[in-house]
Structure 1
Amino acid sequence: MDVRAFRGAADGAELTRISGGDRSVVPAEALLAGSVPPQGWRRGWFAVDCVLIVLVGSTALLHWALGLVLVLALIAAGIDDLTRTGRTPGQRLLGLRTVDADTALPPRRGMQHWATVDLRRGADPLALIPLAVPRLPGGPDRWSPRRAENAAAVAVLVDDGTVLAINGATVLGRSPEAPADARYGVARVTDLSRTLSRNHVLLEPVDAGVRVTDLGSANGTAVAAPGETFAALTAHQPVEVPLGARIAIGERVLLLADPTGVTG
């Protein structure tokens, strides 16, 4: 695959929401393309975090219990922020991010290789905009019965570079559940900002593209055909859009694409 299948998002993008899709279709060199490691004193971001902890802990001079609580709260918040967004308080001050070198996602337990990048001088590994469709299971070979049976009908490219393979009516959301009386699949898109509803939108592949239905989500759904602006959907009123259209669900943007497209 050509590593140019993805490019970085606009400078200054602050992405804290990670999709539940699959990033394994994107090679590591593409995920980290354009990123720059920190230079000089900014490499010592851990020392900045320590200084922040000491400053917060200095409140113990006024009240030791309050100082202890604030220090523990800062440490817990820093660990949580690191595992959710790849950024500690010190890294935020210095404009840095730490990611897994294999997936370019925020650190997770058991991560063996990691990389810290300078967001002010290079690309953000989390901010990927898909320019083409990676090869998905099933590929373009439609003569094989097994491949045809497992092939995705639609490739849904999420704004962080992950890919969801949709081969039938599928409910997308923060923690989706298929209706008991319908044969729907589900696909989870993790949204740490809580702008997605549990069951947010229903996607149904059709001959002309995809039928999109907002499932009464709290923050709504909007669609944009190729070259057009977004238009909000009315809840429970399906709208058909062609491949190449974009769908905005909460603060996430999805691109509908032909899964048989191959780059490189």
Structure 2
Amino acid sequence: MSGVTTVSRPEPLPALLPHEPVPLPRRIGARALDCVLVFLLPPAQVIMLTRSTVAGLLLPLAFSLVIVAVVVTQSATPGQTMMGMRHVDVRSGRPSGGRTAVKYLLQGLAGALSLCVLPIVALAQAQPPFRRTWFDERTGLALIERAAPGSAPRTAPPGTQVATPTFAPPAAPAAPAAPAVPVAPGVPGAPSVLAAPSAPADPATSVDRPAVATVLLDNGTQIAVTDPVVLGRDPVAPPSHPHARPVPVADAERSISKTHVLLAPAPGGVWVLDLHSTNGVRVLAGATGVRTLDPAVPALVAGGTVVEYGERRFEVAG
């Protein structure tokens, strides 16, 4: 079984990791298709008016209702739908037609007030890979290549996988049968369980959430990874994951950075992201050696794999 698959580009949120972003030329192509549909409306209305005044006057309304229906049901404009795209919620990874309609309502108003300047500027300033514009950020959306929700993570090109090494965690007292009050992490030899935060009250925010992953630190601490987690001497949530849970790790040698590495749940393991740390993040690859992760490039690390960050390490539970 392979231990780690490196994704070739950084991703802003774990829910987007299974999805492919839409390249800029395809986005422009979809926009061109939408423009063609709009430009066809006036000639069609003229033809309808020559035959029936009522039908000609109702044509723009019918056209608008069809466009809205497509956006709400497909989470995409007609051009995007024809080219195999859709919008998804950045937190759950699921399609959101209602917010897609809100996005294009905001974008249409901004375009009307600025003679189309603001939408063009917003797209030009959006950063790859997902090129989320101001309108996407306000509505919590990302435009992706159409794929079934919950699909498997992207497969890296050949040669980006390393073997899973064996790992014997340090000896530690057996955990009590009943849940106990967590012991502060970072104390060598003191095992503890960092419980995941309680589930949100709104079920919609937890739909399609990946299975819980477990990580065992070298000091005996277990971490239940149900949401993004940040490890470091004094970690803070990075701007790309503002809701990540900080987990401090004591490190007298100061080999790890204050905010070193981010973990997020994934099917069969965890996503590991080096947050531009000083001493890096490495995946132990057994007989094949050690693989150093590139900063800001997420890697899918399978269960049973050992990861070093600075002079510390953790194992992804198998």
Structure number having the greater helix percentage: 2
State the structure with more CA Rg: 2
Q: Same fold (TM over 0.5)?
A: no
With normalisation by structure 2, the TM-score equals: 0.35
